Structure 1
Amino acid sequence: MSFDRRTVLDLVLAPLGVLAYGFLCWYAVYVGPTSADKLETRFGEGAQAALSAPEFDWARVEMDGQVATLVGLAPTEELKSRALRRVALSSGRGGYLHGGVTRVVDQTDLIPPVGRYEFRAEKIGDRLKLSGFLPGPDARLRIEDWFAEQPDVVMAPIMDLAYRDGVPEGDWLGMLELGLAQLRRLTDGEFTIVNRRAVLKGEVRDSAIRQDITLRMARPPSGFSTDVEIIGTAVWSARLSGDLLRLNGQMPNARDRTRIEQLADRLFDGEIINDSGVGLMPEDDWVDAIEEALPNFLKFRDGALIFMGDQILIDGHATASVLDYLREDLVRSGGGVDIIQRAEATPLDLAAFEELPADSPPSRDVCQSALDEALGLSPINFEYARDELTRDSGPVLDGLLSVFQTCSHLVFEIEAATHARGRRIALQNLTSDRQQAFSSYFIAHGVPIDQLELPEIITTNSGVAWAGNLDTDRQISVRLRELEDD
């Protein structure tokens, strides 16, 4: 058998060709720029980059080949849909031959719509802070564009806003813009929208401006109601917005100005702007009332403490215990100035109640977590040999009140003990009085009497044994009634 030169070359080159083809396939699959692993990595990076905008900070992408899985807790239905579209188009229009992401699997959870849809704008001098809920990034952009169009904006507003579903029907953003426009005309003030009710409060010197603002706010978009509470220029005021406190107006003398400033500086951890001056005035006893009110006022979430010349106005939002202690202090101080207290009690925010659905009560497990959180906020203490709660119990009282109000479908037991670790804490009669006083506090704040039960006093040395990580010397505590008892 004879071989010509071409046949010999074929016999030599054919195996080499097969080897080369195999090498190219191996390189393409495992090493080259279009290898499966590298494609998956590239697609994953592209998908995550498509979600780099701040409104998608909740989202995360997991890749399996060319299939993307979107996970996270979406604030709104619209943001979830936008995220899914962005991931699907992040590496092209798709396709099975290196065409990009072929499919997006939705494994996100959706935050339920909120029942109390609230927006708040607070103005202190040239500073404006916006907080609360917006329906989405388009609404935020509309607000930013609105501020950009205003000719005399000194400082851009601070925005602490979250996106949520549940915005009321109607021109909600139109109501928001109307309120913001009037708020900017005030010296200091606050504008809030809660569902369909809008409230504007504040002060401005010019009576014509006050009248014009009132007329404009009286014509809101259809379906919305408005309240306007605007006063003239105050003699002196303290306005609180989060971590900012502004003191403004006139004090009778430099000594009073200094003592109020020093008191605020000692009690308030945030920024203080003191624009108070000194002006002659016939009476100065109102400063004593301000000094008495200031410690509790500085615990407000937000508010205003205003001396109008013949009366002191207190407005804002605070927890129930803070308002209770404020009233006690003002009654004790006496004084010759009338005090109008219009502040509203607001529930203490508990982490366990975040993202609760608006259309159903929280589960028993959520309520138990909130109860544990509330009981850990502070001790439950009483004055020596009395049934009067001490003020250091305020945080736990506020936390428990929030639990009782939010978990109104459940029953709670207020248990008490006369012993802990073998040491006698109080006589049984005193303990019973304290148990009753503790329960009465919440009933006085609107908790139904049948939501709280008072079991027999524990007289064993174990004390309140079920209190978990709480101080074993705690004489009073609260627990959910066992299911078998329901």
Structure 2
Amino acid sequence: MRLLDHLFALVSLAGLVAMGWWGVYQSPQNAANLQMELQQKTTAALKAAGHDWAIVTMDGQHAILSGKAPTTEAVRDAALTILTADGQGGLIFGGVTQVESVADDAPPVSPFVWHAEKTPEGALVLSGHVPSRTIRKALLAEAQAVSAGAPVEDRMQLASGAPVGNWQGIARLGLHQLASLDSGDVTLEDTRLRVNGVASDKAVREAVTTEVTNIAAPFQGQPLVRGASLWLARVSDDGLLLKGNVSSESERREILTLAKKHYQGKLVDEMVIADQVYGGWMEGVRRGLPQFVHFQSGEMDFDPDGAGFLILGQASPSTLAYLKQDVASLTAPYTAEIRAVSRLPAPPEVVPAATPVEACQGMVDAAVATGDISFAEGAAEPLRTSGPALDVLAASVAACDPALGFSINGRAEAENPKPADVALGRARADALVAFLEATGVDAGRLSAIGYGPTAAEQAIDSADAGADSRPIEITVLERSE
């Protein structure tokens, strides 16, 4: 019996050793395997919950949350998602026991923009920034309630920087107004609500206009609701679309010829010939289309029941300025209303400088040197071929320290009589000052000086020999308080 007892003891000891080895190295509940499993589960849970910003690192059952958090609420939601990624968890059940946040706050978004679009098919697309997951969920539910069963797509993102006041209420109001339109979009940019769309019912147009105009401060409403377009041109990433009715084949050919002359991208023609005559409407196309096709995006609509042409979208400052000049002389019954937003290009890249003045001067010099800011002989206004260079110059000025000023030095050609040289040089400088002011530069930062050809060579200290022949020179100044 003693030998048998010893044998059983040895077998039991071997079993205990095997169970111990399995528990330490093979069991799902050992420390290494548990940490790996929790890492996978918490990462998957964050992704499923839409916390793309969040990074989780497991230290045993202790979770460390990091990343650029869009809002404080987002940190709380992400922490709760991690804590419940493996059920109730805890020490006994092997889940996350604690979440430590070392997440940084992402900088506030400015401008804070939320957007909703209703397609001609009735679908709603929500995008842009929202201040919390709770508001995001509420707006999505609101959209589904007013969509009459049409699809609702959510592209919204959490961000900080929403203005004070009833932001959610204004966004919901915008959704309700959008739902009553045939198609259109709503943009809430900081405290400004813009409602743009089409409604064939005049009563709907009037009701939406009244509601949006009368929203409470500090918010402001900008309604732009029109009837169905008879003809339109649309610029987008897909190219230029020409759509709607024209009265004859000759009108169609003229519009196509005009578009091909001024637009270099893909052109889609969906125009049809209809039994209709609107005398004088083609003059608006002739004056507006050549500059409109240079928009970054937008629509040019013709509504014979309204004032005529409505032009919306985004364009460079020079394109907008030339378009306004071209359509200014249109008269009733068909005039043109421009509701477009100016968008600057990127400023030129320059070598880093030691001081704000040097950095600014480098950008301004690069804009002037690489562009073509030129004038017809004896003319004060820059040639329209100078538009791209003027836009880059405006972008350079906008990128400079707001405390800096600019001396705009203009001069005339040597062929002009000397008494007229200084006056023409000053007129050219004034024209450039006016352009920069129109892009949003404070007039107090700008001054204009005119030179004759000889005086300019003496007064302008240029870094390169070719600068003496330029009609415009710009000097960056430190402004005294």
**TM-score normalised by L of structure 1:** 0.69
> Aligned residue for 1:326?
323
Aligned ranges for residues 247-396 of structure 1 at < 5 Å?
Answer: 249-260=244-255, 267=263, 274=270, 276-281=272-277, 283=279, 285-298=280-293, 299-308=295-304, 311-318=307-314, 319-330=316-327, 339-348=335-344, 379-383=370-374, 394=387
Distance 1:448 1:189, change over 3 A: same
> Aligned residue for 1:139?
135
> Aligned residue for 2:439?
445
Q: How far off its partner does 1:459 sit?
A: 4.2
Letter in structure 2 aligned against 1:323: L
Q: Using the alignment, how far apart are the partners of 2:471 and 2:218 within structure 1? A: 52
Distance 1:17 1:177, change over 3 A: same
Q: How far off its partner does 1:43 sit?
A: 1.6
3-state SS of paired residue (2:310): strand
Q: Using the alignment, how far apart are the partners of 2:228 and 2:110 within structure 1? A: 36
2:233 touches 2:242 (CA, 8 Å); kept in 1?
yes
Compare 433-442 and 78-87 and name the one that shifted more.
433-442
Provide Cα deviations, 1:408-445, integer angstroms capped at 9, x if missing partner: 633266899xxxxxxxxxxxx99x98888655532453
1:236 touches 1:308 (CA, 8 Å); kept in 2?
no
3-state SS of paired residue (1:52): helix
Quick one: which of 144, 156, 163 aligns to 1:161?
A: 156
1:236 touches 1:276 (CA, 8 Å); kept in 2?
no
Structure 2 residue runs of 5 or longer lacking an equivalent are 349-354, 410-420, 450-458
Aligned ranges for residues 396-411 of structure 1 at < 5 Å?
Answer: 397-398=390-391, 401=394, 404-405=397-398, 409-411=402-404
Aligned ranges for residues 204-283 of structure 1 at < 5 Å?
Answer: 204-214=199-209, 217=212, 220=215, 225-238=220-233, 249-260=244-255, 267=263, 274=270, 276-281=272-277, 283=279
2:311 touches 2:339 (CA, 8 Å); kept in 1?
yes
Q: Using the alignment, how far apart are the partners of 2:269 and 2:244 within structure 1? A: 12
1:408 touches 1:451 (CA, 8 Å); kept in 2?
no
> Aligned residue for 2:415?
none
Distance 1:244 1:166, change over 3 A: farther
Provide Cα deviations, 1:254-273, integer angstroms capped at 9, x if missing partner: 33235535766884868968
> Aligned residue for 1:86?
81
3-state SS of paired residue (1:70): strand
> Aligned residue for 2:98?
103
Provide Cα deviations, 1:376-415, integer angstroms capped at 9, x if missing partner: 8994213378686565664564455456457663326689
Structure 1 residue runs of 5 or longer lacking an equivalent are 353-363, 417-428, 465-472
Q: How far off its partner does 1:213 sit?
A: 3.7
Provide Cα deviations, 1:428-477, integer angstroms capped at 9, x if missing partner: x99x988886555324534135546899645455879xxxxxxxx99989
Give the fraction of aligned pairs with identical amino acids, expressed as a percent.
Answer: 26
Provide Cα deviations, 1:64-115, integer angstroms capped at 9, x if missing partner: 3333322222222212221122123323545457733333332322233445
What CA RMSD, in Å, does the superposition of the two structures yield over aligned residues?
5.3
Letter in structure 2 aligned against 1:77: T
Aligned residue pair count = 447
Distance 1:458 1:137, change over 3 A: same
2:70 touches 2:160 (CA, 8 Å); kept in 1?
yes
Distance 1:220 1:405, change over 3 A: same
Provide Cα deviations, 1:345-400, integer angstroms capped at 9, x if missing partner: 33437699xxxxxxxxxxx99x979x979968994213378686565664564455
1:237 touches 1:307 (CA, 8 Å); kept in 2?
no
Q: Using the alignment, how far apart are the partners of 1:394 and 1:143 within structure 2? A: 42
Q: Using the alignment, how far apart are the partners of 1:222 and 1:438 within structure 2? A: 37
Q: How far off its partner does 1:323 sit?
A: 0.5
Compare 179-188 and 378-387 and name the one that shifted more.
378-387
Q: Using the alignment, how far apart are the partners of 2:105 and 2:4 within structure 1? A: 71
> Aligned residue for 1:191?
186
